[in-house]
Amino acid sequence: MVLLSESIIRVILLLCLLGIIALLNGSGVEARIRWYKWEVKYEYRSPDCVKKRVITINGQTPGPTIRAQLNDTVIVELTNSLLTENVAIHWHGIRQIGTPWFNGTEGVTQFPILPGTTFRYQFVVDRPGTYLYHAHSGMQREAGLYGSINVALPDGQSEPFTCDYDRNIILDDWYHKSTYEQAFGLSSIPFEWVGEPQSLLIHERGKFNCSSLTIPALDTAIERHYTWEVTYQYKSLDCYKKLAIAINGSTPGPTISAVQGDTIVVDVINNLLMENVAIHWHGIRQRGTPWSDGTDGVTQCAIMPGETYRYTFVVDRAGTYMYHSHYGMQREAGLYGMINVSLPVGDPKPFDYDLDRGIILSDWYHRTAYEQSTSLSSIPYEWIGEPQSLLINGRGNFSCSGLAPSVCNSTNPQCSPFTLTVISGKTYRLRLASLTSLSSLSFQIEDHEMTVVEADGQYVEPFVTKNLFIYSGETYSVLVTANQDPSRNYWISINVVGRKPKTPNGLAIFNYNPDHFLIPPTNPPSGPIWNDTHLRINQSLTIKARQGFIVNPPKKPDRIIVLLNTQNKINGYIRWSLNNVSHSFPTTPYLIALKENMTDIFDPTSPPEDYDSANFDIYSVANNTNANSSTSIYRLQFNSTVDIILQNANTMRANVSETHPWHLHGHDFWVLGYGEGKFNLSRDTDKYNLVDPIMKNTVPLHPYGWTALRFQADNPGVWLFHCHIEAHLFLGMLVVFESGMERVENIPKANYGCGKTKDLFKP
């Protein structure tokens, strides 16, 4: 009773207060709140006919006009979607009486707004008239980030002049050089003046004489330099604190965004305290630079702690690629990232999209790579088990219940879900890359269909699907149109397939702007059932080369190598083998050994080209104790055509055959076919697709099935071909191909320094 009367009194007091405020306001005209949500981002525009990257607000430059009346409060919620650039907006002519902190001048009144963050400006427009807003961070205004503010008199009051209509005209001059180039010139020695603008714009329209243009600067291949420091870092990617390996502090590492033909130069500084490192550029063929492939033991001596090594290579084909550690099981610690290569400006694309976004899929173990590798190489064998979490762009969500917050803290922002903000109606090219240690995945976006258009840097004959199966080491581009009800958000989900899942699905948010961070109101899609192998084979068979982009394979191979995939026991240790040979690495990298004619560092006999297919039952647990380890390699005649038949079998547990994604370094192969059961050379070659096979660098071998590949050994060097499951590679599931060594130019001396290559430095 007492409580009730108290709350009634409070309400009455509040109403009185509001009444008094209204009276004090006097005029009886309400000041309103004008609320804007702005997304600032890069877009290509041609305001004077010359294409240039500009900065837009909600897709416009000039940005939207703010229209308000005297004494209104303007609220602008600004999301900075610039990829690598801060922003601040100044409200030019607005006096900011009482709100000096909203004047929008970086370094004077505020920290700049960082990429990916949202900042709210709020101020009163206390005088009628014509004003402006524009960027006040660096020289950013020059990129088109500006607009008008019109403040009218309140309803019922009139200006001291009359007019029928009210129109805005923004006047500007326009440079073709970016603000970065201009700012760099101005702060260089010798000083480089920005020169006169190329055009004058009236409301963002001008006319430049295009005939005076030769090739625009954007089209020319350039060198892109990166300096990466590799360090140990504690990370809580799925809320659980774990020792990870980061590049410049982050995992996934920075994305390399380049244009076809660019040269990439990466200085890798190994600041790991106790561990070597090597980085492989997965999908980049390294034509002419086999020493930059980054495979420890094959192409280089690993980079030792405290050392810096420079990788230099050309990205010679547009597409989606990745990079990752190729040293021990180090990839598993988070040392990976994406490489996006675009077509040169003006080159026609075979598909259209508005925006391009990268999504890295991975799985995550709480035990370190060191503990895992120790378990795998122990007697008795201790399998690493299923991962604890699935990550989408480095974010997952492990249930912390029962764990101390210092170990697992579900409120840690590092493990908030990845949010892909989309604008309704726009089509997104999502570049997916799977860097899982173990898991094969299905990727889906609730209520949205995907059109698959690219795989491993090759155009795919488009097909529409609700879920995409993606195996470790594969990349895909899918087109997704944000065409669903934009008043809510949707789940992005990944789930494990091919192995009985013990890992919860990975989740992210497909976020319709501007409903930031709202959890979708539905249950996430659970994805297809894990053990429907047919579904996965069907999708593998659907992936064909796009019409108009088919590269015809040679009609016949010069050599056929059949590789039986088995789990074996060798001297009591569990290993994985091909034709009963489990690979072991010599301490001297093959590329250097062969270049320097060191003939004694590996077993010179050729590994077996086949297995006893007639007498081998792929469905039963074989007596796999007859395997051995070897350093031997396949030497392929330069330019010859090689067929590889991957044959799956039962593991050492009854009724289990696993999926193995196989990855080839230095080449793409044609995917000629997939089949179930044992491959039969006389019968199954007739089923090969020689009409429109896709070329890829990574391909699944399905349980109890076979996969047939063809490639041309036309890239001089030494190249790994291996199962992309980190533990299986560690356990010897790889072969090594050499071809055209006589054509390999001088290997940089920085690749030397281990094994017998040390001898070469002796006086």
Ligand X SMILES: O=C1O[C@H]([C@@H](O)CO)C(O)=C1O
Contacting positions for ligand X (CB under 6 A): 383, 567, 651, 653, 658, 727
532 near 702, Cβ under 8 Å?
A: no
332 near 472, Cβ under 8 Å?
A: no
Q: Closer CB to ligand X, residue 275 or residue 332?
A: 332
Pick from 361, 285, 295: nearest CA to 722: 295
- Alpha carbons within 13 angstroms on the beta-carbon side of residue 406 total 0
Q: Closer CB to ligand X, residue 251 or residue 579?
A: 579
CB of 237 to ligand X, least distance (A): 23
Pick from 731, 721, 726: nearest CA to 363: 726
DSSP state of 60: B
CB of 381 to ligand X, least distance (A): 7
Q: Closer CB to ligand X, residue 540 or residue 582?
A: 582
Q: Closer CB to ligand X, residue 146 or residue 730?
A: 730
- Alpha carbons within 13 angstroms on the beta-carbon side of residue 78 total 30
Name the pairing type of β-strands 734-739 and 698-701.
unpaired
Q: Closer CB to ligand X, residue 553 or residue 703?
A: 703
Q: How far apart are CA 296 and CA 326, in angstroms?
A: 6
CB of 577 to ligand X, least distance (A): 12
Q: Closer CB to ligand X, residue 653 or residue 758?
A: 653
Q: How far apart are CA 203 and CA 221, in angstroms?
A: 33
Q: Closer CB to ligand X, residue 444 or residue 580?
A: 580
Q: Closer CB to ligand X, residue 375 or residue 481?
A: 375
- In the complex, residue closest to ligand X by CB: 383
CB of 528 to ligand X, least distance (A): 20
Q: How far apart are CA 146 and CA 134, in angstroms?
A: 4
Q: How far apart are CA 684 and CA 676, in angstroms?
A: 10
Q: How far apart are CA 672 and CA 545, in angstroms?
A: 11
Task: Compute, in degrees rounded to 10, the torsion defined by CA atoms 333, 339, 340, 345.
Answer: 160
Structure tokens at 731: 């356990």
CB of 370 to ligand X, least distance (A): 18
**Cα–chain-centroid distance for residue 302?**
25
Q: Closer CB to ligand X, residue 339 or residue 376?
A: 376
CB of 501 to ligand X, least distance (A): 13
In the beta sheet, which residues pair with residue 707?
A: 646, 674
CB of 631 to ligand X, least distance (A): 21
Q: How far apart are CA 358 and CA 703, in angstroms?
A: 30
Pick from 87, 73, 79, 1: nearest CA to 31: 73
At which residue do the structure tokens 């006096």 appear? 95
CB of 731 to ligand X, least distance (A): 6
CB of 695 to ligand X, least distance (A): 28
